[in-house]
Each structure stands twice: as C-alpha cells, then as structure tokens.
Structure 1
Amino acid sequence: FAKTCASVEKLCVLYLCVTQGGHAGLSSYELERLENIRQNQAFLSSINLFQTAIEKGVTVRKSLRLQSLTLPPKPGERQLYRLVKPPGPLLMKPVNMEDEAKLPSQLLELFSELDLKEYCSALKNMTKTENRVAKVLKKRLVTAAFHPCTSSLLMATGNTLGNVALWKLDSDWGNDGVLRFEPHALAVACIAFSRAHPTHLLSLSRDGSLRCMDVQKAVFDDVYDSEEQLRTFDFLSHDCTSLVVGHFNGKVAIVDRRTPGNSHESIHSLKYTHSLLCVSVHPLQKQYFAVAENKYVNIYDSRYLKKKKKSKTVSRLHGYSLSIHSAYFSPRTGNRVLTSCNDGYIRIYDTSAVTKKAPLLTSIKHKMQTASYKIKVSAVWDPKREDCFVVGSTPKPHSVKVFHESGKLLHSFVDRDNVTSELYVTALHPTRNALLGGNGSGQLHVFSD
C-alpha cells in the first residue's frame, strides 16, 4: 500500500509539472490519464486515506484491591432448571400400552435365556466322586453351610446330638478330613458363617444356647442363652453383630454381640403364638425379616416390634393350609420369598414392594415329607443367583433338584451308586460351583466342578 501511494505522489508531481510547464510533448491520452490520477488523489485525500492509523497501546490493568477500591457487585447467577423424574424406583409401564396392561410374560424369559443356559451348563459340570462323601457326624444331620473361602471347599454341619463338624475336602484332618466338636447338649437347629468375620461360625441349639466358634481364639463363645428352646436365627446387620433369634414358642429376641453378657437386648411377641420355625432377614433392608409361624408367613419391621403387646405385621404371604417350615428372602435383592410347606408345594412370592398382601408368583408341586415325620425338606436359594433354588427330592432315585423361579426344572443331581438315602439338608457355595447334601445317617455328599 505504501508503494502504491508513493507512485501516485510521483504521478501527481509529474502532472503538476506538465500543467505548469506545458504539455511537454504528452499525448491527449496521457493527459487524460494524469487528470484521472489527480481526481483519484483528491478523493483519497478527502477521506484521509494517507494518514497513518493511531496504534492502540496495551491497556494496563490495575488491581482494585491495591487501589483500595470497592469491588463491583457480582452479576446475578442464573437459575438453571432441568426436567427430572422423581427419585426412587420407577414402574415399568410401557407408554404405548393401556394403564392396566402388564409386561409380556415372555419378556423376562428372553432376558434370562442366555444367563440360564450358562448356569445350566455349569450345573452339568458339577459331578461327584468317591472322595466327595464323608461320614462327618453320628446321627441325623439337621443343618449345614459352606465357608465362603474359594481355595478349598470347607463345610460345617450340625446334628441332633448337639455336635458340630468341620469338613475340608481332600484333607487329612482327624478322620476323613473331619474335625468334630460338642458345643451343645441338644440338636443344632441352625448354623451360619459370619460374612463380616470369616473366622466365626455361629451355631444355635434347642438347648437354648447360641454359640460362636472363634477359630482365631480356639473357643466357642457364649453369645446368647435362654431358658426356652431356640429354633433359628439370622443376622440383623451387615456387620453380623446384631441378630434376630427365633424361639420355639413364637417369640423373637434381638441380640447384640457387642453388648457384654449373653442376654438379649429385647424380646418380642409376634402376631401369632404358634411355634416359630424359620427367620430370614431381608439382605438389603435389614429392618425387615420374614417368619414362618406354623400356617402363616409374615414379614415384620424390627423397628416397630412390641415388647408387651403382639407385634403387627407389615406384610403377609397367603395360601397355606398346613404348617410352613421355611421362608427365605432371595439372597441379593430380597425381591422374592421362597417357602416350603407340608401341603406339598414350594411357593415363590413377589416382595419387591412391601405390601399388606404379597402376590404369589409360582407354586411348584414337590413332596416335602420324608420317611420320618420329624424330617422336613426345605428349598433354599442359590446364593449366587436371585432366581434359582435347590431342594432335596425324596422319591427314588434320591436326588437334589435345581429349579428356576418360574417353576422350570433346570437340573437334577443324582448318584445312584453312593446316594442311597434322602439328601434333605442342602446348601450351595456362595461363589463356587459346589453343592452339598446331608442325610439322616450323618453323611455329607458334595457335587462340584
């Protein structure tokens, strides 16, 4: 641009020389050209094109604080609003169906199909060999459980004499890899490993005692003693320090292991005074527990139990004509309750919402009674799943059956050569593919991969 302006100035000087000194031999075309240049120069000068632009310097910013000046007020913050759904679970209601319409029954089956195929494949790989059976105790086994360790299969069981045994598969402990103890005077009715303290094994007996085998201290600690017969217990807190203990006469005791002594924090009467056969605590909402009370299955809230009056139920499972000997919340969510009744049916209820009357989902015909009227067969959940359970089968050939919550039979564990009596005590490992079954002669049989 500067070069252009200089050229224009030279031409203007030349024009002035021509106009002042004559044509100097220029043609009419050149004179016309010079006139045009002069007019352009006059126009450019009129708009100040040849003036140099003023350069703006960098603005010096000074701190208001250093100048002792008051800060200006902050601009008002804009309130941002967004549309959200209400918190908590939302019902699956298709917007393109009528309000009362239910989800298609095949929907859950399709969602679970692949998962069930893998599960069934794992069940088929679980077999039994000669070294997977042991005479762990004398007399009839009543209860059994797997320790959660995965490096080896470690099992605990209790019998009608008040004995407790530990059996580690493929070990040389004691006789046949079994360690036997005598912590109780009467039958061991319930046994469970502490999920928070894996060195603790709790056992409850009908002699009125609840003890804790502490392997680290090598003692059976006295947790709770009662003059009444005890029937069952479950952990009422995630750290397994609080327990709900069921008395045979229909009462429940709240026991806190952190409190010195071996008494209860409180004892409560339930709605019915019938014998109490089973207690199961909700896995997530620990304030709720289900109770099998003779011909009734009720759900209570431990926060509202009465000491002098009969406690009110928050939900009831209907449909029984004979006594129920077990009722268990599903292990992961508590959205189902699995019951076993003397009327020959296994029932599954929907407890995803705590309502006055829990809806019945499935009924499965299954023989619950054995050759002895004292022995009851109970269905128990697979702790690895939310929708499958196992139960001993009394008709020959004796077996343990695995069912889906829909009522579909998934697998049967059979060993015609070694299993010659009913395996009415059953349990599954919490993480490994392993199943145990106990019989009336004190034997444990193990199926594993």
Structure 2
Amino acid sequence: MLRPCAEPEPKAAARPRPQVNESKENENDAQESLRPIQTTFLGKIARVYLTPFSLSNCTSEQLKCSLSQLEEKSNNEVLCKKMKLKKTPEVKMKATPSKSESTLLRSSSKDHSTGHKLGQKSSAEASVLSVDMESSDDDDVHGDNSDLDDFSGLSPYERKRLKNISENANFFASLQLSESAARLREMIKRKSPKCKRKKPKKREDEIGCRRSMRLLKVEPSEISFLPPPVKTTVVKEEEEDPLLPPGPLDMIPENEDDNQLFKGLLQTWAEMSKTCSKSYQKGLSSIKSYKANLNSMVIREDTVRKLVDGSISSVAVHPSETRILVAAGARTGQIGIWDLTQRCEEGGMFRFYPHSRHVGCMYFSPANPAHILSLSYDGTLRCGDFSSAVFEEVYRNERSGLSSFDFFTEDASTLLVGHWSGHISLVDRRTPGMSDEKLSSSMEQIRTVHVHPVHRQYFMTAGLRDIHIYDARCLNSRRRQPLFALTGHTKSISSAYFSPVTGNRVVTTGLDCKLSVFDSSCISSQIPLLTTIRHNTITGRWLTRFQAKWDPKQEGCFMVGSMAHPRQVNIFHETGKMVHSFLGEGLASVCSINAMHPTRYILAGGNSSGKLHVFMD
C-alpha cells in the first residue's frame, strides 16, 4: 500500500527551489504537498525480537501462551497500519515544512522504508514460528500425524519438517543425556583426588647460584666465602695389559697340569740335531716339480687346532726334518707350540705367556734350533730356550713400542729391531746388559724390518707409504738418509721382504690391493718395478693384515692369504702368475699370516680366531 506513495520522491528532490520569493515557493509547495510523498512519515515501527528456546523443556501451556502473544502483536500491527492510513489526509492539508524539516522527513521516510521491510520479515518469521510451535505442541500432546492436516496453509515440506522436529525432540528427551552427564561429573570428582607434587629437597652440599652483593646490599665482610672445591684424584684402574716384570721368566705351560708331557717335549727338542741354515745348498727344484709337490699337500681334520686365544699375528715353522713343530703368537701375548708328530686331540699343544701384548714377529734361531725369539708391542724381545725352559729377556724398551726384528748376523748374535716411532736399534746379545746402538732413519713409522740374505749390511724397512733400503755402515745417530726408496703404493704398506736365497727380488704388500715385485739384483744403481699383482688386501679391523712372504724352498715364489671364496691361500710367481691355491674342507676362514717349512712341504696358516691350519704331504 505504501509503494505508490514513495515513487514521486525523486522528482520532488530533483526540482530546484529558488530562494528569492519564499512566499510563492511556499504556496507552490502547499499545492504540491497534496502528493503522498509526505505520508511516508510514521510515528512508530513494530519490531519483533526472537529468542532461542528448546521444545523439550517447554510445556504445552507455555507454547499456547506464546502463540496468543504473537497473535496480539500481529493484530496491533494491523491496527497501526489502519490508523496511519486514516491520518494521511490531515497531513496533506498541513503547510509544507521548512528546508530542514523536509530533509528530516526524507531521512525518516528512508528509515521507514527499511523498517517496513524489516517489519514484514519479522512478521513473516513470527508467523512461521507460531506455526512451528503449534505443530510441535500438537505432536507432543497427541503424537499423531493427523493433527498436521489441520494446517491447510502449510506446504507438505513444512509439515514434514515439523514432524521431524517433534520426533527428534522426543528422541533426545528419551535419552536423558543431562542425567548421564551429571553422573559422569560426580564420578570424575570422586576418582580424581588432588595429589600434590612433592618438591625436591635441596641438597645441603649443593652450591647455590652466585648473587651480587651490591644488589643484596650486603657488605663484603659479612659474607663467608666458600672454600675452593677439592680436586678429586681419580684412581686409574689397572691397565688391561700390565707389563711383565723384567728379567727371565720360567717356561711354564698354562694349559697343562701334568708336566710329564712337557718334559718329554723338552727332551726331544734337546736331542734334535742342528739343521742347516741355508737350505738352498741342497738345490732348488724346477717349477714343474714344485707344482707337483704343492698339489700333494692337503689339510686334514687333525691338522686344524685352536692353538692360542685371540687373533694370530705371527707364525713360525721349526726347521727340523724329523719332527713337525709349529709356533704361533697371538695378540693377547700368548705363544703356542704345537707338536704335530703326536696325533692325539689335545696332546702336543702348549701355551705360554712371555708377553703382555700381541706378538708381532717371531722366528726360530738359525744357529740354535732350541731357541725361539719373539717380539711384542709391549716393548720386550725375549728368547725362549727349550733346553733350560726359560724365556730370557733379550731387549726391553718400554718408552717406544717394538714392531719387527730380524737377524743382522748369521749366528743370530746381533739383531736389528724396528720401532713404531721410526727408530732402529742394533742389539748385540754378546755384550752384558744387552746394549743397543740407535740408528736414525727417515721413516715416520716402521712395520717390518728385513736384512738382505747375502749382503747383510743392507736392510729394508716398510712404513706408512715408503719402503727404504739402508746401508748399516753409513748410518749413525745423525745420518739417516736411505740408499733407495721404492715407490708404487698409494696407501699404507704392510710388509716388504727380500727373496730368501739370493735377495734379487723384493715383494711388498699394501692396502691399495697391490702386490709389487721389484728387482733388487743391483742395489748400488737402481731398483726397478717388475710386476704388480691385483689382490684383495682389505682385511678390515678384525682381521690381521696380509703379508706376502717368500717360500724358502723356491726362489721367485711367494705365498699370501686371500679374501676369496672358498677360503684359500695363494702361491704366486714373481711374474704375476698364480702357481697354486691351497683349498680344503678344513680351511673355512681367512689365513692372514702364513709360513713355510724351509726344506719340507709344510704350510702353516693362522686366522683371527686363534686356529692354526697346516697343509702337509
């Protein structure tokens, strides 16, 4: 009804008003005020405020009261609209207001238009709400779908919606969620007693944090300074490998309670005749016969025994031709002697403890077959005399660890000892007190020392990445320049040895997986590289390093352990060709250290678990 009255408003607003003649303007406005633009001004606007409520908590009487109130409000709105329509002629007869009043009327008309729209919306919402409440009331009271048919003005969708609302309300009321929630709260309060956390007690001996005396406003004289903390001296535990006392040690086997067997071994050892130190005087066999003899060497079940505890670091074979005696040195400082002539399970094996750390080098004396000399990393070099059953002390140097030694003279009276620090000592066993002469070298570290078998004034040392050949006549405490330096390895070197008969060849072993053979026939001029053999020498941390050593029976052939499967020990020629591989069911581990009998075809190999494997014909 009010829409046609609001249409002429833009024309009245767009018309200009001259300010010269106000009386005429007012007259014209009085005539034009008969238009319904001024009738949009209404005194009051009906507004409906809605509040949320739950159907489950309301009773039927409360719903009826709310419906009656909504009907009264709607009737009042209709009466107000009728009264405003009756008052419109009076407004038309009134004089037009001033300019300020007209602007006020325009703003009020805009508010009324918006308010009228809101009133329509609120009235529509109120009517829908009233219908919803009536339907819910009917559903709660009667609980039948027939009551919904009374609302003829509602659509089927609204009827279905009202039905769903009532059913949901009845369902949630039947669940009694409020009662169960109250019960849970009571149970939680009962089961969760408030437990106070115990504060840790401060130790009396604990030193508090430092605070400023200036901020505490305390004079320095009133503070008693804490005494300085007492330095606790940590008592070092006993060393894992304590040094044995200096001097001779009794040769007492650790694994034999009955000394009768050991006494029998000493007696047979003393009766053995001396063997010739130079086996090449009997003549060297050809390569063909040498291969045939190697093929006849086999390993049996009774030639594999655990001789020592720990990894084997050195092996030596006695040069006797009547008995088979093999010795092995371990990292624990043990020395094991095995007499293979006795074929019983435990008989013929004896263990001794002449050292505290692992034995790095060991040889039978070329002058006296009843002597075995052993060098240990604990700085001692001892000679085991089986004729007197004593381990005599030959050399001792606790400041510098010993790495290797060799016989400087044929009668074994003078020894050449290498130190890990790179120094060399010339030890004379004939002088009292075992005096030594220190020789300087250009090596940072020495692993092996080997003397030339023919020209014994020359010796060779292998270190980190260098192999030097020295002349002992030209060395003293100041001069340390080598004659030659052999090159060819890119990583650390494990060993370097002259050939046993003539010394015309040198074989070296490095961690770069190379076996190198040099020509040392003319030491005075140069030493060229002859052959390089690719061989896996990476043993890792737990296996002893490989050392390629010459076979004393055959010039130009050397033996070395292998990482290949099945486990084996290889024999190479100086030209790089493989001569033979020792295999067998008894060889199930890597033999890092190997030694050959000087005259017989007997090979002894030691692994890192203390087992000794013997191949023999």
Q: Give TM-score, length-normalised by structure 2.
A: 0.53
How many percent identity over aligned positions?
42
Cross-structure match for 2:425: 253
Match of 1:396 in 2: 565
Match of 1:290 in 2: 460
**Cα displacement string for residues 189-240 of structure 1 (whole angstroms, at most 9, x for unaligned residues):** 1000011111110000000000000111110011000021000000000111
Flag the structure with larger Rg.
2
Deviation at 1:357, TM superposition (A): 3.8
Amino acid at match of 1:168: D
SS at match of 1:398: coil
Per-residue CA distance 1:276-302 (angstroms, 9 max, x = gap): 000000001111001002101110011
Q: Does 1:115 pair with 2:296?
A: no
Asked if 1:220 is matched to 2:391, the reply is yes
Q: In structure 2, how many angstroms separate the alpha carbons of the residues matched to 1:182 and 1:224?
A: 17
Displacement of 1:172: 6.6
Q: Secondary structure at the match of 1:122?
A: helix
Matched, 1:277 2:456: no
Residue 532 of structure 2 corresponds to which residue in structure 1? Answer: 363
Report whether the alignment pairs 1:238 with 2:406.
no
Look up the equivalent residue of 2:509 and give its one-letter code: S
Contact 1:315–1:356, Cα closer than 8 Å, also in 2:
no
Structure 1 residues 301 and 135: alpha-carbon distance in aligned structure 2, compared to 1, 3 A threshold:
same
Note if contact 1:233-1:279 (Cα within 8 Å) is conserved in structure 2: yes
Q: Does 1:350 align with 2:522?
A: no
**CA distance in 2: counterparts of 1:397 and 1:277, whole angstroms:** 30
Task: For residues 74-98 of structure 1, give each alpha carbon's deviation from its aligned partner in whole angstroms, at most 9, with x where no partner exists.
Answer: xxxxxxxxxxxxxxxxxxxxxxxxx
Counterpart amino acid of 1:225? Answer: R
2:357 to 186, 194, 197: 186
- Structure 1: distance between partners of 2:602 and 2:543: 27
Structure 1 counterpart of 2:318: 147
Number of residue pairs matched by the alignment: 333
Assess, with a 3 A threshold, how the Cα gap between structure 1 residues 402 and 155 changes in structure 2: closer, same or farther.
Answer: same
**Correspondent of 1:409 among 578, 583, 605:** 578
Cα distance in 1 between the residues matched to 2:322 and 2:544: 33
Q: Secondary structure at the match of 2:552?
A: coil
- Once residues 133 and 200 of structure 1 are traced to their aligned partners in structure 2, the CA distance between those partners, rounded to angstroms, is 25
AA at the equivalent of 2:358: A
Unaligned 5+ runs, structure 2: 1-284
Which residue identity lines up with residue 365 of structure 2 in the other structure? S
Q: How far apart, CA to CA, are the structure 2 residues paired with 1:202 and 1:310?
A: 30
Structure 2 distance, partners of 1:331, 1:318, is: 22
Tell me if structure 2 keeps the 8 A contact 1:171–1:177: yes
Q: Counterparts of 2:502 and 2:550 in 1: how far apart (Å)? A: 12
Counting strand residues as a fraction of each chain, which structure ranks higher?
Answer: 1
Q: Secondary structure at the match of 1:117?
A: helix
How large is the Cα RMSD of the aligned pairs? Answer: 1.6
Once the two structures are TM-superposed, the CA of residue 371 in structure 1 deviates from its matched residue by 3.8
Alpha-carbon offset, residue 373 of structure 1: 5.9
For residue 321 of structure 1, the aligned residue among 463, 470, 490 is: 490
> Equivalent residue for 1:200?
371
Match of residue 422 from structure 1:
590
- Give, in angstroms, the shift of residue 361 of structure 1: 0.7
Counterpart code for 1:214: D
Structure 1: distance between partners of 2:544 and 2:557:
23
Say if 2:296 is the partner of 1:128: no
Q: Residue type matched to 1:245 in 2?
A: V
Q: Show structure 1 runs of 5+ residues with no match.
A: 1-113
Give yes or no for contact 1:369–1:375 (8 Å, CA) kept in 2: no
Whole-Å Cα distance in 2 between the matches of residues 201 and 170 of structure 1?
Answer: 19
Indicate the SS of the match to 2:287: helix
Q: Aligned equivalents of 1:375 and 1:163: distance in 2?
A: 16
Deviations 1:390-434 (A, max 9, x none): 00001221100011111110110011x322210111011000011
- Letter of the 2:545 counterpart: K
Instruction: Looking at secondary structure, tell me which structure has more helix per residue.
Output: 2
Residue number in structure 2 paired with 1:433: 601
1:305 corresponds to 2:475: yes
Q: Contact 1:232/1:247 (CA < 8 Å) preserved in 2?
A: yes
Question: Does the 8 Å CA contact 1:316/1:357 hold for their aligned counterparts?
Answer: no
Counterpart AA for 2:575 = S
Taking structure 1 as reference, are residues 353 and 422 closer, same or farther at Cα in structure 2, changes over 3 Å only? same
Write the distance in 2 (CA, Å) between the matches of 1:410 and 1:374.
25
Match of 1:445 in 2: 613
Aligned partners of 2:312 and 2:544 also within 8 Å: no
**Whole-Å Cα distance in 2 between the matches of residues 369 and 384 of structure 1?**
28
Post-superposition CA distance 1:98-134 (Å, at most 9, x none): xxxxxxxxxxxxxxxx911111011000111111111
Kindly provide the amino acid, as one letter, of the partner of residue 210 in structure 1. L
Q: Which residue matches 1:11? A: none
After superposition, give the CA deviation of every residue in 1:237-286 in whole Å (9 maximum; x if it has no partner): 0111111000010101000110112341x1122013x1100000000111
Q: Answer yes or no: is the 8 Å Cα contact 1:211–1:220 preserved in 2.
A: yes
3-state SS of paired residue (1:195):
coil
8 Å contact from structure 1 (residues 134, 176) kept in 2:
no
What amino acid does structure 1 have at the position aligned with 2:418?
G
TM-score when scaled to structure 1? 0.72
Shift of 1:356: 5.4
Could you say what secondary structure the match of 2:286 adopts? helix
After alignment, is 250-259 or 368-377 more displaced?
Answer: 368-377
Q: Give, as a single letter, the amino acid of the residue that structure 2 aligns with 1:291.
A: T
Instruction: Check the 8 A contact 1:316/1:356 in 2, yes or no.
Output: no
| Distance of aligned partners of 1:356 and 1:295 in 2 relative to their CA distance in 1, 3 Å threshold | farther
The DSSP-based 3-state class of the residue aligned with 2:473 is: helix
CA separation in 2, counterparts of 1:401 and 1:440? 18
The aligned residue for residue 309 of structure 2 is: 138
1:339 aligns with 2:508: yes
8 Å contact 1:271–1:310 — kept in the other structure? no
Taking a change above 3 Å as real, the CA distance of residues 371 and 397 of structure 1, as seen in their structure-2 partners, is farther
Change (3 A) 1:328 1:185: same
